[in-house]
A and B are shown apart, each in its own frame.
Chain A
């Protein structure tokens, strides 16, 4: 049920994203990519929390936006300072993404078996 809804939401978002006439300038593509990664992590975290029945609406929504903005901001500051700070965001969110995916997978498998 939750995953279905998430998938439809994602589908709707993709449809909108592919059809809006605004095209992001090349300069901001980097920030957008890191923000998208952070958002992806937040969504998987939300799914995991929902499966574990620990889901908190406020934490999820604020986490989603603050993570995305923080990641983009970090990348921007890194650019200004000449440090590839976005790598930190990529690594952190990537690790958490895989952890969340693993936990979700286990929960699904457990539910299937039982």
Chain B
């Protein structure tokens, strides 16, 4: 009988252990219905490996592109510098910036004494052509910027006789005409005062003209209407 009780006790113990195993298993299966099969895990593992490889490739690509970007940026600053210089040059020749430097001042005025009775008044006044000739001569002598009575001469500037006035940049300009030109003063003056040149010709017409060299002239920028 005592043999039999030990047998039953051992069966009971074993059954208890079995119960524990079953319960634990039951809880595990219940916790995540369906569970994750080993195949699924392997699938995910291969996916992970592949994605890691892709990530490495992409990282390499990022480094490569960053390198290229740096190269481009290095070149960019130089290009910007060159473009700035170009822009400044263009702005100056377009007359959008004030120009200072050595140059000449040419002042033209109408003849003071209108002698010659019987002649209609205004015959000997300065005409647009005279100013145009002066401007042309200055450009030809290498002037960088020219203004007449504060009106900057640019590509679209007109010099046009409008009754008693001359219109420059559609503004009325009255005598005395003060023509300022920035450039090499010696060249400008010598080209104007050439024997038989423009100044002599204008003087012969009776126009009061003076030419002066200046070390520091300021020519205003083109004023938009």
**A residues whose Cβ falls under 8 Å from a Cβ of B:** 1-2, 5-18, 20, 22-24, 26, 29-30, 32-33, 35-36, 39-40, 42-43, 46-47, 50, 55, 57, 60-61, 64, 68, 79
Is B7 touching A6 in the complex (CB atoms < 8 A)?
no
Is B21 touching A35 in the complex (CB atoms < 8 A)?
yes
Contacts of A8 in B (CB 8 A): 12
26 residue pairs A–B, Cβ–Cβ below 8 Å: A5-B8, A5-B15, A9-B13, A9-B16, A10-B15, A10-B16, A12-B16, A13-B21, A13-B23, A17-B22, A17-B23, A18-B26, A23-B27, A26-B32, A26-B35, A26-B36, A29-B25, A32-B25, A33-B25, A35-B21, A39-B14, A39-B17, A46-B14, A60-B7, A64-B17, A79-B38
* Count, A-B residue pairs, CB within 8 A: 119
What are the 10 tightest A-B residue pairs by CB atom distance, in nearest-first order? A13-B19, A17-B23, A9-B15, A9-B12, A13-B16, A17-B20, A14-B19, A36-B21, A10-B19, A9-B16
Is B35 touching A29 in the complex (CB atoms < 8 A)?
yes
Is B27 touching A17 in the complex (CB atoms < 8 A)?
yes
Is B20 touching A13 in the complex (CB atoms < 8 A)?
yes
Nearest-neighbour CB distance to chain A for B108, whole angstroms, equals: 103
Q: Give the distance in Å from the alpha carbon of A11 to the alpha carbon of B36 in the complex.
A: 29
Q: Give the distance in Å from the alpha carbon of A61 to the alpha carbon of B16 in the complex.
A: 13
Is B25 touching A50 in the complex (CB atoms < 8 A)?
no
Question: For residues 17 through 54 of chain B, which have their beta carbon under 8 Å from a beta carbon of chain A?
Answer: 17-29, 31-32, 35-36, 38
Is A57 touching B6 in the complex (CB atoms < 8 A)?
yes
Chain B interface, >50% SS class: helix
Is B18 touching A36 in the complex (CB atoms < 8 A)?
yes
**B residues whose Cβ falls under 8 Å from a Cβ of A:** 6-29, 31-32, 35-36, 38
A29-B25, A46-B11 given; 5 more Cβ-contact pairs under 8 Å? A6-B15, A10-B18, A10-B19, A40-B18, A60-B7
Known contacts A2-B8, A55-B7, A79-B38; decide if A36 and B25 are in contact (CB<8 Å).
Answer: yes
